[in-house]
């Protein structure tokens, strides 16, 4: 009986792998036709990461700035309204799941492939921040970088993001 389950799981995994393999060339074909093509000049951001972000964001002119994009992802800390406002720092988990995943993925791309971002993450770690907090901070940084690049249609410049 367990062998049957393993075989079914393997079949599903094989099918998923084939679908991913078919999607990547399609991203590579479509991304240059979009305003998100410039994102691939960023270290660690290939066609899949840029395409996922573009697909999750939609019209790049829909939101007036990176703060609104970050808020739409649901990564902004929750704020509770009462007689006294308080912020407990927890993530609201409201917002677009696809956009949240895309921003975290872009943040991870920066964290592991971009020297200024790696240095920023290291300073957060030395200040005692946990991995999840650093990941959210990197997603926030990625939001600002991606927004500016798409807005200006400019290639990535590491000196600008030190």
pLDDT the model gives residue 2: 73
57-61, 73-77, 141-145: which has the minimum mean pLDDT?
73-77
Structure tokens at 20: 């991913």
Q: pLDDT per residue over 104-149, tens digit each? A: 999 999 999 999 999 999 999 999 999 989 999 999 999 999 999 9
CA gap 122, 20 in Å, rounded: 32
Contact 141, 120 (CB under 8 A): yes
In sequence order, the β-bridge partners of residue 91 are: 77
Quick one: angle between helices 2-30 and 47-57, nearest 10?
80
Domain ranges in the chain are 1-33, 35-161
């Amino acid at each position: 009986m367990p062998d049957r389950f393993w075989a079914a799981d393997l079949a599903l995994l094989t099918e998923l792998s084939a679908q991913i393999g078919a999607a990547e060339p399609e991203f590579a074909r479509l991304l240059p036709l979009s305003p998100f093509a410039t994102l691939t000049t960023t270290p660690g951001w290939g066609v899949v990461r840029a395409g996922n972000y573009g697909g999750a964001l939609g019209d790049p002119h829909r939101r007036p700035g990176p703060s609104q994009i970050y808020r739409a992802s649901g990564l902004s800390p929750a704020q509770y309204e009462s007689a006294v406002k308080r912020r407990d720092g927890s993530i609201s988990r409201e917002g677009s799941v696809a956009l949240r995943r895309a921003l975290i993925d872009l943040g991870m791309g920066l964290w592991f492939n971009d020297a200024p971002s790696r240095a920023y993450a290291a300073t957060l770690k030395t200040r005692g921040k946990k991995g999840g907090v650093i990941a959210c901070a990197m997603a926030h940084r990625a939001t600002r970088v991606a927004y500016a690049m798409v807005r200006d249609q400019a290639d990535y410049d590491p000196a600008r993001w030190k």
